[in-house]
Amino acid sequence: MTRNPSHDILFEPVRIGPVTAPNRFYQVPHCTGMGWMRPRTLAAMRGVKAEGGWGVVCTEYNSIHPTSDDLPHPSASLWDVSDVRAHALMTEAVHEHGALAGAELWYGGARTPNMMTRLPPMDLGSVPNLAGHPYQTRAMDKSDIRQFRHWHKRAALRARDAGFDIVYVYATHGYLISNFLNPRINTRGDEYGGSLENRVRLVRELIDETKDAVGDRCAVAVRFAADEEGDRDGHPVWGERREMFAMLAELPDLWDINIADYSLEMGVSRFVKEGALEPYMTWVKSVTTKPVVTVGRFTSPDTMAAQVRRGIVDFIGAARPSIADPFLPRKIAEGRLGAIRECIGCNVCYSGDSLGVPIRCTQNPTMGEEWRRGWHPERIAPQGSAAHVLVVGAGPAGLEAARALGARGYRVTLAEATRELGGRVLREAALPGLREYIRVRDYREQALRDMPNVGIFRESRLTAQDVLDVGADHVAIATGAHWRKDVFDGEVFYPVAKGAAEAHILTPDDIMAGRLPDGPTVVYDGDGYYMGGVVAERLRAAGLDVTLATPDDSLSRWAGHTAERWRVRRHLQGLGVRFEPAREIAGFDGRAVVLPCAYGGAELTLPATHLVMVSARRPEDGLYQDLRALAGPLPFSLTRIGDCEAPAIIAAAVHAGHRYAQELDAPVDPDLPMKHDRIDVGAPVGAAETRGEPT
């Protein structure tokens, strides 16, 4: 295949101060849940992106000093020479493939809890901790500002020594430097506050000092918000931003532009579509001659090329698309557009940072596994035998298992009980806002079409005897799960209705199958993720009176980890859905639902003709159990994968399918199935850790 000439513009080199990016594909800084705790894991992951064609690969934000400690988020740091050595693993991996490496210098201010270092964080004033802890900051005086500038410069020097090509001044996202710019926050009476010129002073000083320190070898970038206020859904409130930007426009070597509303900048596909930041970018390029990058969950090369051609940006910024497909640039370069694993915008990747764990991806099961398991997004070990593998069920686990097994060269038979492939993603993609989830199916179905060694049999609901008759050497059962009608109280499942009333209890499976209530309905969400909200929205679209109740203190509790909880609540409120948090469920008689307060007190009785339970799921493992019950040894290996084994999120099902394929006929130590990236306490420490500090 050859590249579409209209995409050639994406592969032009771009000068950034003293360095040159080989193309316009720019992986912006994004957190990984790896940071200083897992440097080998992080280096391997970033290196794969450079191998995949990203011209610039940045690491996550780097704390510049122990007074900006972000635990339990194990983000990167540049505190001492040991950090330099750790980062060198990443920069070497990136440089090996001809890409530039970027480092973002970070000081969180009131957004840092400092729970590890126990040092008081600094901000403009003594304000409450914005990470939700019962602490306050120390108000900065001018000596503190001088100290901060010193720390920033030393961190920049460490970044240079670690091999980074681009060093950031991070002036957005509500962290310390952005607070100096904010007219609502910065009311200081000295030369660093009050007037616009004074509020810009610190950023100007940091740019100048960073360029003085490392500018002969490193480009200096600034991350900056194009708008003054958030929460406007694509309707920018500029405030002083254009004027402020103009004062600084020519000082750095590159501008990395974002917006005030992080839930829009990092929005899930349910609410935010590709290129959503363009309305905010209309004036930026007219004010500066320096290269500009922004994000937009870009997956279409036509959209990317149009952004550059129309003068919106110079670089195509990406975090999530580079996670879903680290080889996206190379596939565009080679004209293999059908092979791109398009991001679905579910933000499971972001949940890793929120939870302080290594990053995951629904589309890319190798994400985070590059070092510890040796997985690669585009290469996989050849088959370990001439075996024939039967995969039963073509949901996310079964599809990924069949695709990866086919890529290894195995003869694969994929049997699906229904006419359409996709399982849960096919059904869920029909719910409000989840259309892009179908990409999980589409990518794998396309890949399977190109594999002559994989046979797909639709409308093939297999019995145990059918499985035996196939004559496979290995059998993987991926028959999924279905939603339950009962509720889990932390110890056991119990019914919420008896007799005729039970027929009026529905599940998300019923709603996805088109079976809708015909009167006032309570949706009881014990799941806490997206399903309760999208079911409530579907019922409101049908004109029903809907109440969304949950035992949690907050609606869509777990969706806070994917940066969508606030949008879910605002969206449903706008639709007229009633909310009842902190409610247990005591019973349903077909006419009303009884909802006691989770903390005791009065019960709430809501009239309802139907109850939709979004509680838990039951593995559909009947075929697996039937096969295990057969007399005598089975003539094949038998394995459950995905929701059939343990119901979870779609990303877990895809990962399970991929792991099955990777480990088939491969030596895996069941006692230690992966390498651990952790500090070796036997390694020498002490004076050697602090010698060689930059000056």
* Residues recognised as catalytic: 175
Can you tell me the distance from the alpha carbon of 257 to that of 5, in angstroms, rounded to the nearest whole number?
A: 28
DSSP 122: E
Closest CA to 284 of 231, 323, 241: 241
CA distances from 215 to 104, 530, 692 (A): 15, 46, 21
CA distances for 474 relative to 467, 633, 661, angstroms: 10, 13, 11
Rg of the Cα trace of the chain? Answer: 27
SS3 state at 437:
helix
Structure token digits, residue 336: 């293999």
Distance CA 409, CA 185 (A): 60
**525 membership: H or E segment, kind and range:** strand 521-525
DSSP letter at 382 equals: P
Q: How far apart are CA 96 and CA 84, in angstroms?
A: 18
Q: Is 635 helix (H, G, I), strand (E, B) or coil?
A: coil
| Ramachandran area for residue 167 (φ above 0: left; ψ -120 to 50: alpha; else beta) | beta
- For residue 294, list its beta bridge partners: 257, 316
Q: To which H or E segment does residue 81 belong?
A: helix 81-95
Burial track 36-75 (b if 16+ CB lie within 10 A, e otherwise): bbbbbbbbbbbbbbbbbbbbbbbbbbbbbbebbbbbebbb
CA 465 to chain CA mean position, Å = 42
- Mapped onto helix, strand or coil, the DSSP state of residue 267 is coil
602 alpha carbon, distance to own chain's centre: 40
The count of other CB atoms within 10 Å of the CB of residue 665 is: 16
Compute CA distances 140 → 19, 49, 120, 195, whole Å: 35, 39, 11, 18
Separation between Cα atoms, residue 545 and residue 568, nearest integer Å: 18
Residue pair 98/22 in contact (Cβ under 8 Å)? The answer is yes
> Going by DSSP bridges, is the β-strand pair 388-392/411-415 parallel, antiparallel, or unpaired?
parallel
- Long-range contacts of the stretch 202-207 (C-beta < 8 A, 24+): 202/145, 202/149, 202/177, 203/169, 203/171, 203/177, 203/248, 204/247, 204/248, 204/251, 205/149, 206/149, 206/152, 206/169, 206/177, 207/169, 207/248, 207/251, 207/252
